[in-house]
């Protein structure tokens, strides 16, 4: 378990020593004052490089590791057309390209880990306390998702990069491009489109037209041939993901906090509307667990909602009398999540011990 705790400790120390100053949220004149971290880039780069390295050089870590080995073995020997047609084209292309260079499975994981870490870093940089925001992601989003569900982790990373761009530029077309790239790695990523587009206040008709056109384009380019398989696997087969209820529950607390205190979290108007929609979807996942035949479908949605934990918990200090107390609470909460998962999760054996392809 030492590598996991090393990664956590590095981010925890960085978060606790992060210098902060009062400041307004970028791009929102007159917004409530919050603690804006300073500096935001320097300390993040080496930490996220280490994160990407841990994700990339892992060996037999993650419940689906052997499935990804099988994908790589087949794809690396296939023709380009065969490789692209068989699965998610973005992930298949990475496997095929690494295979053409006589690379190994860990090269694929390193590339995917780097993409995920880049997206997470960009997203954290848009938060008032970037290092604290990154710490929130370590126990589950990084340890479990990025080191276990490679394809969806890349999709989530790209979407987070898109959300950072959306927060900075407010451009829906740019975000659609990000979602399209994310869907190349996991087709379920298109569920992020409605939330971003309908969070806009102006031009509701144009927003509706945009989402229909974007959805149709992504459907016909990515999902049309596999929609029957998705329905069969997720609905008709009544697949169930162990731990789906826990993952849904982890989003409930930040969703509740956000709905109650959304105006005190220092969010821009657009960001507040967007994250309110995310919070409502997160809460709707609770009854959906008992209504929808497949908990796997709900589980996949819940994974895309995890960034709400980063947004809310990194702003916890704004709701308390002091930022220091908020940081300590977030560190303690994150520590508890990682400790419980590594020691008591049903599938923790697939992650523990951490193994690496590097020979010491």
pLDDT in the model for residue 39: 42
Residue ranges making up the domain that contains 259? 2-18+36-350
pLDDT at 358 over 90: no
Residue 29 lies in a domain: no
Counting the structural domains of the chain, the total is 1
Residue 26 lies in a domain: no
Query: Are 131 and 14 spatial neighbours (Cβ–Cβ below 8 Å)?
Result: yes
Residue 96 lies in a domain: yes
As a dihedral over the C-alpha atoms of residue 348, residue 291, residue 199, residue 210, rounded to 10 degrees, the angle is 100
pLDDT in the model for residue 21: 46
Report the b/e string of 243-271 with b at 16+ CB within 10 A.
bbbbbbebbeebbebbeeebeebbbeebb
pLDDT at 42 over 70: no
Chain centroid to Cα 134, Å, comes to: 11
Query: Are 312 and 265 spatial neighbours (Cβ–Cβ below 8 Å)?
Result: yes
Strands 20-23, 34-37: pairing kind: antiparallel
Residue 357 lies in a domain: no
What number is the average pLDDT over the span 127-144? 94
pLDDT in the model for residue 235: 39
Which among 187, 287, 297 is positioned nearest to 240, based on CA atoms? Answer: 297
pLDDT in the model for residue 26: 41
Residue 160 lies in a domain: yes
**CA separation for the pair 268, 167 (Å, rounded):** 8
Point out the least confidently predicted range of 31-45, 97-111, 162-176, 205-219.
31-45
pLDDT tens by residue, 177-216: 899 899 999 988 888 887 777 766 555 666 666 666 655 6
Q: 169 to each of 162, 165, 166, 271, how far by Cα in Å?
A: 10, 6, 5, 12
Residue 27 lies in a domain: no
Chain centroid to Cα 257, Å, comes to: 20
Question: What's the whole-model pTM score?
Answer: 0.87
**CA separation for the pair 36, 20 (Å, rounded):** 6
Give the list of residues 6+ apart from residue 82 with CB closer than 8 angstroms, or none: none
Which among 273, 339, 321, 282 is positioned nearest to 305, based on CA atoms? Answer: 282
Residue 264 lies in a domain: yes
Residue 25 lies in a domain: no
**CA separation for the pair 345, 332 (Å, rounded):** 19
pLDDT in the model for residue 132: 94
Burial class (CB in 10 A: 0-12, 13-18, 19+), 147: buried
């Amino acid at each position: 378990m030492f590598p996991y705790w090393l990664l956590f400790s590095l981010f925890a120390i960085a978060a606790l020593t992060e210098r902060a100053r009062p400041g307004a949220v970028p791009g929102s004149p007159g917004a409530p004052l919050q603690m804006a971290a300073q500096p935001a880039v320097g300390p993040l780069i080496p930490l996220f490089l280490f994160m990407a390295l841990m994700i990339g050089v892992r060996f037999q870590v993650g419940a689906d590791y052997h499935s990804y080995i099988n994908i790589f073995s087949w794809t690396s020997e296939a023709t380009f057309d065969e490789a692209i047609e068989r699965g998610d084209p973005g992930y298949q292309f990475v496997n095929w390209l690494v295979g053409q260079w006589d690379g190994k499975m860990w090269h694929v994981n390193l590339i995917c880990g780097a993409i995920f870490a880049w997206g997470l870093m960009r997203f954290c940089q848009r938060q008032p306390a970037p290092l604290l925001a990154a710490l929130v992601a370590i126990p589950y989003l990084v340890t479990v998702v990025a080191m276990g569900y490679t394809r969806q982790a890349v999709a989530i990373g790209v979407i987070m990069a898109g959300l950072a761009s959306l927060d900075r530029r407010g451009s829906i077309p740019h975000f659609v491009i990000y979602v399209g790239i994310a869907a190349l790695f996991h087709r379920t990523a298109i569920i992020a489109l409605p939330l971003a587009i309908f969070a806009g206040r102006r031009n509701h008709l144009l927003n509706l037209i945009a989402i229909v056109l974007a959805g149709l384009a992504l459907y016909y380019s990515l999902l049309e041939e596999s929609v029957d398989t998705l329905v069969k696997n997720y609905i008709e087969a009544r697949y169930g993901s162990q731990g789906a209820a826990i993952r849904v529950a982890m989003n409930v607390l930040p969703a509740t906090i956000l709905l109650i205190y959304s105006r005190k979290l220092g969010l821009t108007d657009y960001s507040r509307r967007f994250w309110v929609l995310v919070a409502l979807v997160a809460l709707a996942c609770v009854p959906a667990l008992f209504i929808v035949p497949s908990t796997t479908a709900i589980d996949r949605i819940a994974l895309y909602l995890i960034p709400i934990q980063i947004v809310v918990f990194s702003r916890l200090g704004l709701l308390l009398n002091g930022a220091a107390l908020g940081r300590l609470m977030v560190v303690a909460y994150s520590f508890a999540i990682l400790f419980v998962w590594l020691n008591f999760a049903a599938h923790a054996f697939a992650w523990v011990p951490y193994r690496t392809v590097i020979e010491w």
